[in-house]
């Protein structure tokens, strides 16, 4: 579903990853590991199409990726249901019930999002993924602020998504209780020379 072929990503003019290659098939999840600052967020943003890869090719069906960032994109003046309905309308989903059920949000549906605790807000952010109906989930530390029960909910949602033929790419520092391959991005640190090259050959 998603293929990366020796992709390089830059952030603020510096190459942070180089030569990333992997393949993600339907029904498969891949956990991105790596210490802070190793470039997980940069890689996910590149795959989501928010920034161009500075080298290599990313192959995926267009508009097949649902991205969830560090920030949730929740509008605090709107209620939970209004937030999700907005995304549902945008992605052409028929309704939001499946999403509410997946993340146990029925009780909170009419709360303004500003009156949620950190973990509850995160659950709303994750519920958006279900609403997009896209096959590849690209998630950046999805379980931040979640309690154990919610992490289990999330793991179940991912498993269901995979069972339905989706795929998931998850950057995380904690154990999610999912059985999946994992990939340590720190292996793709650019060599000194590659960094030099991509960086400012034009200016020497």
Partner 1 sequence: MIGLLTRDLKLAIRAGGGFGLALAFFLIVIVLVPFGVGPQTDILSKIAPGILWVGALLACLLSLDRLFATDFEDGSLELLATAPLPLEALVATKALAHWLTTGLPLTLAAVAFSVLLNLPTPGIPALITSLAIGTPALSMIGAFGAALTVGLKRGGLLLSLLVLPLYVPTLIFGAEATRRGAEAMPTTTPMLLLAAITLGAIACLPFAAAAALRVNLR
Partner 2 sequence: MSLWEYANPRKFMSTTEKAVAPLFALAALFVLTGLVWGFFFTPDDFRQGSTVKIIYLHVPSAMMAINVWAMMLITSLVWLIRRHHVSALAAKAAAPIGMTMTLMALFTGAVWGQPMWGTWWEWDPRLTSFLILFLFYLGYMALWAAVEDPDTAADLTSVLCLVGSVFAILSRYAVNFWSQGLHQGASLSLDKEENVSDVFWIPLVVCIIGFILLFIALVLLRTRTELRRRRLHAIETRERMG
Ligand X SMILES: Nc1ncnc2c1ncn2[C@@H]1O[C@H](COP(=O)(O)OP(=O)(O)OP(=O)(O)O)[C@@H](O)[C@H]1O
Least distance (Å) between residue 152 CB and partner 1 = 25
Least distance (Å) between residue 160 CB and ligand X = 23
Q: Which residues bind ligand X (CB under 6 A)?
A: 11-12, 14, 16, 34, 36-42, 114-120, 145
- Which one, 89 or 177, has the nearer CB to a copy of itself? 177
Residue 118, binding choice from partner 1, Mg ion, partner 2, none, Cβ under 5 to 8 Å by partner class:
Mg ion
How is residue 107 annotated by DSSP?
A: G
**Residue written as tokens 């034009």?**
202
Residue 77, binding choice from partner 1, a copy of itself, Mg ion, none, Cβ under 5 to 8 Å by partner class:
partner 1
Least distance (Å) between residue 92 CB and partner 1 = 7
- What single string gives the DSSP state of each residue in 108-135? GTTSBGGGS-HHHHHHHHHHHHHHH--S
Q: How far is CA 7 from CA 13, 20, 23, 129, 136, in A?
A: 16, 5, 12, 25, 18
Least distance (Å) between residue 11 CB and Mg ion = 10
* Of the candidate residues 6, 21, 51, 196, the single one contacting partner 1 (CB under 8 A): 51
Strand order in the sheet with 14-24: 14-24, 2-11, 55-60
98, with CB counted inside 10 A (0-12, 13-18, 19+), is middle
Quickly count: other Cβ atoms within 10 Å of residue 45's Cβ. Answer: 17
Least distance (Å) between residue 43 CB and partner 1 = 15
Continuous H helices in the chain: 40-47, 80-91, 97-102, 118-132, 148-163, 192-200
Contacts to partner 1 by CB under 8 A: 48-52, 63, 65-78, 82, 85-87, 89-92, 128, 132
Contacts to a copy of itself by CB under 8 A: 11-12, 34-38, 41, 70, 115-120, 123, 141, 144-150, 173-174
């Amino acid at each position: 579903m998603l293929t990366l072929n020796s992709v390089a990503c830059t952030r603020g003019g510096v190459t942070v990853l180089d030569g990333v290659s992997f393949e993600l098939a339907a029904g498969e999840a891949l956990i991105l590991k790596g210490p802070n600052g190793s470039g997980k967020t940069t890689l996910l943003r590149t795959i989501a199409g928010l920034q161009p890869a500075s080298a290599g090719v990313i192959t995926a069906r267009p508009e097949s990726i649902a991205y969830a960032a560090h920030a949730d994109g929740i509008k605090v003046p709107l209620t939970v249901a209004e937030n999700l309905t907005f995304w549902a309308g945008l992605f052409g989903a028929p309704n939001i019930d499946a999403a509410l059920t997946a993340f146990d949000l029925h009780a909170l549906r009419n709360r303004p999002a500003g009156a949620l605790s950190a973990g509850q807000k995160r659950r709303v952010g994750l519920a958006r993924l279900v609403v997009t109906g896209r096959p590849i989930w690209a998630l950046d530390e999805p379980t931040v602020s979640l309690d154990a029960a919610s992490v289990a909910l999330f793991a179940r949602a991912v498993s269901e998504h995979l069972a339905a033929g989706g795929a998931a790419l998850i950057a995380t520092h904690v154990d999610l209780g999912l059985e999946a391959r994992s990939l340590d991005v720190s292996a793709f640190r650019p060599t000194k020379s590659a960094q030099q090259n991509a960086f400012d050959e034009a200016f020497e």
